[in-house]
Structure 1
Amino acid sequence: MELWIPITVFAAFCQNLRTAMQKHLKGKLGTTGATFVRFGYGFPFAVLYLLVLHFFFQQPVPLPNATMLIAGVLGGIAQIVATFLLIHLFSFRNFAVGTAYSKTEPIQAALFGFLVLGEHISLTAGVCILIGITGVIVISLARVPLSLAAIRNSLAGKPALIGLASAAFFGASAVAYRTASISLEGTGVAMQAATALVYATALQTLVMALWMVLREPDQLKASLANWRSAVWVGASGIAGSVGWFTAMTLQNVAYVRALAQIELVFTFLASWLVFKETIARSEIAGCVLIVLAVLGIILLG
C-alpha cells in the first residue's frame, strides 16, 4: 500500500474528531471563535512537530522561496474564505443543495491541479471520484424532503452558488498547499509538509486574530477563556493537517481529497455505534458509494 493512503485515512479521522469537538465548542464561542481555535491553538503544535522533525530526526529546515511564500498565502486565505462560505450556507433555509455542491471539492481540486501543476488523473480514478461525490450528495440530501421543483429552484439559487464557491476555494487551497510544499528543497517529505503547514497556520492565526480584534473582540476573549477545551481542537486539527499536507506532498491532490471522503463514513459509524442514532437507508446507500469509491481509488486508481 502506498504511504499516502494510510496518512490520508489518519487525517480524515483526525478531522472528524476535530469537527466533533469544534461543534461542541461552538455553543460557547460562536462561529468565528470556534473557527479561530482551529488555527490559533493549532499553531504551537505545528511548530512543535517541525522542531521534533528537526532535532530528533535530523531533517533540515528548508529555506523559504518565493513560490512557497506566495502559494502559502493564497492557500491560507482560500481555506479561511472556504470555511466561512460553508458556515454561511447554514443561514439559508434551503441550504441542503448548496451543501451538496460544496462536496464537489475533489472535482474542482482535480481541475486546479491540472491548471496549476499540470497533473492528470486516470479515467478509472475519475469515475471513482464521481461515485464518491454521488455518495456524499446522497447523504447531504438524505433527510431533506426536496421536491423536483424545489431542487430545480435551488440549483440556480444563492445556496448553490455559495456551495460551489466554497468547494472551489477548498480545492484551490489544497492545490496551493501542495504547490508550496513541493517547492521546498533539500529536506524530506515530512519536513516539506511541516514547513508549509507552520507558515500557513501562522498566517491564518494572524489574519483571524486581527479580524477578531477589530470586529469581534468578545469572540477573541471567549476563545482565550475556553483554552482548556480549545487546545484539544487545535491539537487534533493540526494532527489532521499534518496528514493532509504530507499526503498532498506525496500524491495528486484530487486523489487525496477523494479518499478523504471516508471521513463521512467515520461520522456515521460514530453516530450509530457511540450515540445510538438511527441511520436512514439513503445515508447507508451513500456510505456504500463512498466506500466503493475509496476502494476503487486504492485498488484501481
Structure 2
Amino acid sequence: MVLNDGMLVYLFALVPAVIWGFTPVLDKRGMSYDGTALQASLVVVVVDLTLVTSLLVLRGGSLLAGIDVSLAGLFLFAGATGTALGRLAIFIGVDRVGASINSAVVSARPLFATAFAFGLLGEPISLETGVGIVVLVTGLVVLSLAKGGDLSGWESRDLIYPLGSGALFAFGNVLRRFGLEMGGADVLQAVALNEAGALLVFLGYAAVRGTKGFRSADRRSYGYFAVSGALTAIALVSLFSALALPAGQVAIVESLASTAPLFTTVFVYFLLQDLERVTRGVIAGAVLVVIGTALVTLGPAGAL
C-alpha cells in the first residue's frame, strides 16, 4: 500500500501527539525529584539537538550545507521563540498544574494559529471556527474548575503558562511551515537549527543570570529529562516532516498533534497517581478542548 501525501501528514502529525502525550509524565516525574523548568528545558534541547545532529552527520550532511543565511536565521528565530520560550512555559506549567491539565491547555494552540491568521493575514473566521472557540474556551473553564492535576493544588492564574506555551508553539509552527515551503533545508537541518536557536537562548540566559536554575541536587531528574529529550527528537522530526509535505498545512498538522492531552490523561492515570489526580472534570475538559480544537481547524483545513 502506497501512502499519499495526505495520509503521510496524518501519520507524521499523530506521532508527536502520542509522544507529547507521554513526555509530560516523564517531565512531571523529573520535577518531583527536585527538577526545575530551566534544567528540564536545557537537558531536553541538548539531548534532542545531539541526536538530530548526529543523525544528520551520519547521513553525510551538515548543519548549514546549501542553506541561505536568511533561511537559517528563520529556523533559529523559530527555535528561540516557539521552542525555547514555549518549552520553558510548558515545564513551568507541568510543575504548577500537573501534566494532564497542562497538556490539555497547551493543545489549544490551533486557536492561536487561527488568531494569527486572522489578525496578520486577514483570513476569515468560519462558523465552525467560531463554534470551536466557544467549545474550546468551555473546556478550559471546565479544566480550571475540575480540581484535578497536581495534588498540591494550583490556581486558575497558573494556566497562563500552558496558554502562553500554546501561543508560542503556534507562532513557531507558522514560521517553520513558511521556512520549509521556501526550500533549501531538509527536515533534519530545520530541526537542528530550530533546537540550536533554543540552545542559544538558554546559554545566553545562563551567561547573564548564572547557572543555578539549570541544576538539580537529585541526579534522578536528569535521567527523566534526558529520555524526554530523546523522545522529543523523534517527535520534532516527525512534526517537521508533516509540515514539509505539500499537504502539511499548519491547521491540519496542529489539530492532529493537539490530540496529545487524550494520551496524557491515560498515561497520567496509570503512571502518576502519586502526584496527580485525574477527575471526571479533567477528562471532560480535555475532551472538550480537543473537540474545540478540531472545530477551530475544520474551516481552515477544509478550505485548503
TM-score under structure 1 length normalisation: 0.71
Report the 3-state secondary structure (helix = DSSP H, G, I; strand = E; otherwise coil) of the residue aligned with 1:29. coil
Matched, 1:234 2:237: no
What one-letter code is carried by the residue in structure 1 that aligns with 2:111?
A: I
Q: Which residue of 2 aligns with 1:206?
A: 200
Is 1:272 aligned with 2:257? no
CA distance, structure 2, for counterparts of residue 111 and residue 238 of structure 1: 28
2:53 corresponds to 1:47: yes
Counterpart-to-counterpart distance in 1, 2:103 and 2:223: 31
> Does the CA-based 8 Å contact 2:22-2:263 persist in structure 1?
no
| Matching of residue 68 in structure 1 with residue 47 in structure 2 | no
- Greater mean alpha carbon deviation, residues 1-10 or residues 225-234: 225-234
1:143 is aligned to: 146
Range that drifts further, 164-173 or 285-294: 285-294
Q: How many pairs does the alignment contain?
A: 277
How has the CA–CA distance of structure 1 residues 171 and 214 changed in structure 2, closer, same or farther, with 3 Å as cutoff? Answer: same
**Aligned equivalent of 2:182:** 183
Distance 1:133 1:224 in 2: 38
Contact conserved, 2:146 with 2:280, CA < 8 A, in 1?
no
Aligned to 2:152: none
Give the deviation of 1:87 after TM superposition.
5.5
Q: Secondary structure at the match of 1:203?
A: helix
Residue of structure 1 equivalent to 2:258: 261
The verdict on how the C-alpha distance between 1:101 and 1:7 changes in structure 2, with shifts beyond 3 A counting, is: closer
CA contact under 8 A between 1:41 and 1:234: conserved in structure 2? yes
Q: Is the 8 A contact 1:135 1:287 kept in 2?
A: no
Give yes or no for the alignment of 1:193 onto 2:197: no
Structure-2 change in CA distance of 1:162 and 1:32 (3 Å):
closer
**CA–CA distance in 1 between the matches of 2:65 and 2:124?**
29
After TM superposition, the structure 1 stretch with the greater mean CA deviation from structure 2, 66-75 or 170-179, is: 66-75
Contact 1:98-1:159 within 8 A present in 2 as well: no
SS at match of 2:34: helix
**Residues 12-27 of structure 1 mapped to structure 2, 5 A cutoff:** 12-26=17-31, 27=33
Unmatched runs of 5 consecutive residues or more in structure 1: 146-153, 186-190
Question: Deviations for 1:27-69, whole angstroms, at most 9, x for unmatched residues?
Answer: 33312111111101111111133345x45xx9x9862124422
CA gap of 1:124–1:219, structure 2 versus 1, over 3 A, is same
Percent of aligned pairs sharing the same letter: 17
In structure 2, distance between residues paired with 1:92 and 1:205: 24
TM-score after normalising by structure 2: 0.71
The 8 Å contact of residues 67 and 180 in structure 1, kept in 2 or not, is answered as no
Deviation (angstroms), 1:75: 1.0
- Residue identity in the other structure for 1:257: E
Task: Tell me what 2:151 maps to.
Answer: none
Q: Which residue of 2 aligns with 1:37?
A: 43
